Structure 1
Amino acid sequence: MVTVEDREIAVSNPDKILFPDISMTKWEWILHMTRLAPYLLPYCRGRFLTTIRYPDGVEGDFFYQKNAPSHTPDWIQTADAGSIRYILLQDTPTLIWLANLACLEFHPSFDYAEQPGYPPEIVFDLDPSVEGFDRVMETALYTREVLQKMGLDGWVKTSGATGLQVYVPIRSGYTFEDTRRISRLIAEYLTSRYPRLITVERSVSQRGDKVYFDYLQHWRGKSLIAPYSTRARRNAPVSTPLIWEELKPGLSPEQFTPEEVHRRLARLGDPFAPLYDPNHRYDLTDILNFIKQES
């Protein structure tokens, strides 16, 4: 039993190995998540949460959890969406309770439970079709160039797997339909400007070696790996916010292990902090008016 912010949480099988390649036990995993809580929680609060659970560690079976389990404590906040009762990851006790269930990945929704259908950012998911990270970084940098020409800017993070994700904070009141119009415009421009590098082809077998520019994932009812969530992969890589200047040859998403991320946060702070500043959000009105005039 541990006490976290006055909440008592039972920890089962603390010596169970969750990440065998680095011999990380459940207890070590819980300590890791406790240290990351101040950086993981700001993005997750108020959003519908999907987790991926690995009861026997990353080498065992797993399942997606959307519905709050029947044994969810009364103090954990939830929100209903259709037939699903989602957990809201509001605080550190909730995070540690989920960590004890071997929830190794945290995937929040793109919108808030209190304002469904109105995302606070536009998100692009960039995935390579072949091994190598350089082409993904190149695509991300071209994406930023386009955003800046439009009077916007983005913040970038690793997916924790093989790709990158770009976030553009926006003012409240825009729907997913609004953001889709803008993301489609950007996707069409990039694929026409860099046809040998970027594609919007959803079929993996049809992409060749091009980077998949996924703007369709950003939609109601969908989710994406949270900043600072660990991935259930070898070495427990963390989905890590980056500084744009870091996108250069030699960078690998696999280098962002839990301990490296803790050292990094102590040295650099959180590069995603501006995303949570209500005064640092972009107005999309002019861009939407331009698209309407051109259509």
Structure 2
Amino acid sequence: MPEVKLTNPDKVLFPDDGITKAELRDYYSAVADVMVPHARDRPMNLWRWNKGIAADVVIQQSLPKGAPEWVARCEVPRRKGGDITHGMVNDADTLRWLAQQNCITPHVWNARCDNRDKPDRLVFDLDPSDEDFDAIRKAALAVADLLREIGLTPYAKLSGSRGIHVIAPLKRLRSADEVRAAAGALAERVAGEHPDALTTEWRKDKRDGRILVDVARNTYGQTLVAAYAVRALPGAPVSAPVTWEEVADPALAPHAFTLRTMQERLSAVGDVWADIAEHAGTIPKALMMS
């Protein structure tokens, strides 16, 4: 196994919490068994906080120069020519290496490298206009109901920030453009069914406090925070998969699980997304033609 050495392991990345680079590395080592299956073979962007979360983030699509040869790679053509060499989180050593790079939050594609234009995830990103997480929970439940109506199986995870991601696994049959269009049609439908709570209006000044049903993450090449990734916020919250029973519970909080509590949760309930790939579905043809 490759040895991943940390330079400056005592570097404090989360100043309010005293969380160091070494603690971030240890977290990713501990959750690798559940995190890697959800990120494997997906092109990755690195979100790096080289001076800790109080400073600016560096968002890097290409692997940093000097990346170890054993880090899995995916060559993605640029629109203007040439390629971008993305890394992929295919093993625990890569997660440890990301910590060495001060990459607190890896983001991954909704498609896998071998068929980049055929996503295997349909994604709805629900973020509040204010701090009303209760409204976000209800919005997620509404989106989940709609997905079930069309024959898909919804899964949920906390964004780790203020919202919830609703995700339906897909068979790799539709192009990214088709999935994006279908997601947009579904967003319009659910917003139309809940006009006082939900909207597809991008301009914040036109939302009137309603929740945006954001489907932009379905666009080709866009990324989403990886499941079990740490967010660069005080307390080090985790983008944690949750059950629908938990989403329905008013006690659920947006930062329910953190770098320091996630292992306890996994010991208690395991990976609640463990069977997500087994439930891959197909977007109905009728929706594709709407």
**Is the TM value for this pair above 0.5?**
yes
Partner of 2:80: none
2 CA distance for matches of 1:253 and 1:131? 10
Q: Secondary structure at the match of 1:41?
A: helix
In structure 1, which of residues 44, 51, 66 is the aligned counterpart of residue 46 of structure 2? 51
SS at structure 2 position matched to 1:51: strand
Name which of 285, 288, 291 aligns with 2:285.
288
1:24 to 19, 26, 31: 19
Q: How does 1:127-206 map to 2 (within 5 A)?
A: 127-206=127-206
Query: In the alignment, which residue of structure 2 is the partner of 1:117?
Result: 117
C-alpha contact 2:177 2:220 (8 A) present in aligned 1: no
Q: Which amino acid aligns with 2:174?
A: Y
Residue pair 2:187, 2:213 contacting (<8 A) in 1 also: yes
Separation (CA, whole Å) in 2 of partners of 1:290 and 1:39: 33
Can you list the C-alpha shifts for 1:130-163, whole angstroms capped at 9, x where unaligned? Answer: 1120011000111111122222220000000001
Question: Deviation per CA, 1:17-62, whole angstroms, max 9, x where unpaired?
Answer: 1111211111111111100111211111111100110112111232
Q: Unaligned stretches of 5+ in structure 1?
A: 1-5
Tell me the SS of whatever aligns to 1:273: coil
Compute the displacement of 1:259 (Å).
2.5
* 1:75 aligned onto 2:75: no
**Secondary structure at 1:147's aligned position in 2?**
helix
2:252 is aligned to 251
- 2:240 corresponds in structure 1 to 240
Q: How much does 1:290 deviate?
A: 5.3
Alignment coverage as a number of residue pairs: 284
Measured after TM superposition, the shift of residue 291 of structure 1 is 4.6
Tell me if the contact between 2:230 and 2:239 (Cα under 8 Å) persists in the aligned partners.
Answer: yes
So what's the TM-score if we normalise by structure 2? 0.94
Equivalent residue letter for 1:218: N
How far, CA to CA, are the matches of 1:290 and 1:33 in structure 2? 39
Q: Following superposition of structure 1 onto structure 2, how do residues 90-109 of structure 1 map, counting pairs within 5 Å?
A: 90-109=90-109
- 2:162 corresponds to which letter in structure 1? T
- Is residue 11 from structure 1 mapped to residue 10 from structure 2 by the alignment? no
Over the aligned positions, Cα root-mean-square deviation in angstroms equals 1.4
Report the equivalent of 1:213: 213
Unaligned runs of 5+ in 2: 78-82
After TM superposition, the score normalised by the length of structure 1 is: 0.92
Distance 1:158 1:290, change over 3 A: closer
